Chain A
Amino acid sequence: GAVVSQHPSWVICKSGTSVKIECRSLDFQATTMFWYRQFPKQSLMLMATSNEGSKATYEQGVEKDKFLINHASLTLSTLTVTSAHPEDSSFYICSLPGTGTDTQYFGPGTRLTVL
């Protein structure tokens, strides 16, 4: 299957700063990538679908101006949490679809802590 990496694996930042999280597909070209967030003891929630060369599609309730997604190439998608606040502290996970309709390949996740 595809190998997906995320950078950084964890980050701590001050309230009000912006943080960029990278998601890379190391061996697979992806026109679409997914971004999820996970709160402690809760499900993974789909935030948005990143589309190469066009605007991302956000899920209901997700602020597009706060969570900026850029999918500039077939192997890289970035999520920028702008003006981060403590309530944005979470585990962010990206994934990309495989060739089968039921297949998704997930990155290891990024732990964001906002002080």
Chain B
Amino acid sequence: GNSVTQMEGPVTLSEEAFLTINCTYTATGYPSLFWYVQYPGEGLQLLLKATKADDKGSNKGFEATYRKETTSFHLEKGSVQVSDSAVYFCALRGGATNKLIFGTGTLLAVQP
């Protein structure tokens, strides 16, 4: 069945460092791919998405490219800020059920 694997955290970075959070998936067909972010005390929010191969989703300086050949959707940001500290979830939607399938989440802690 469909599944998502993302790197375990926590990831601790200094402000202005480069961020990569790896995400790979297993799915039949052509799923849509998402990154959600959960700030402390808040619900998950959609950060970005891509619906087909080679699409690049971007928002708030974050980017992720849908790579079908490597079944990956890695999240990147060139220069992180303290306010980016949150838990990041990779997810996919696809197949007959059309349900959202989540990864385990990666905690990012950015230090000033």
Q: Residues on A close to B: CB < 8 A?
A: 1, 4, 41-44, 46, 93, 95, 102-109
Where chain B touches its partner, the secondary structure class is strand
- Of A41, A44, A95, A107, chain B has the most CB atoms within 10 Å of the CB of A44
Nearest-neighbor residue (CB-CB) of A6 within chain B: B43
In-complex Cβ contact of B43 among A41, A43, A109 (8 A): A109
Q: Shortest Cβ distance from B55 into chain A, in angstroms?
A: 12
Cβ-Cβ contact count across A and B, 8 Å cutoff: 41
Binds A, one of B16-24, B70-78, B99-107: B99-107
| Cα–Cα, bound, A28→B52 (Å) | 29
Q: How far is the CB of B36 from chain A (nearest CB, A)?
A: 8
* Given A43-B101, A102-B49, A109-B43, 19 additional A-B pairs, CB 8 A: A4-B43, A41-B104, A42-B104, A43-B103, A43-B105, A46-B99, A93-B43, A93-B44, A95-B44, A102-B32, A102-B34, A103-B46, A104-B44, A104-B100, A106-B43, A106-B45, A107-B43, A108-B42, A108-B43
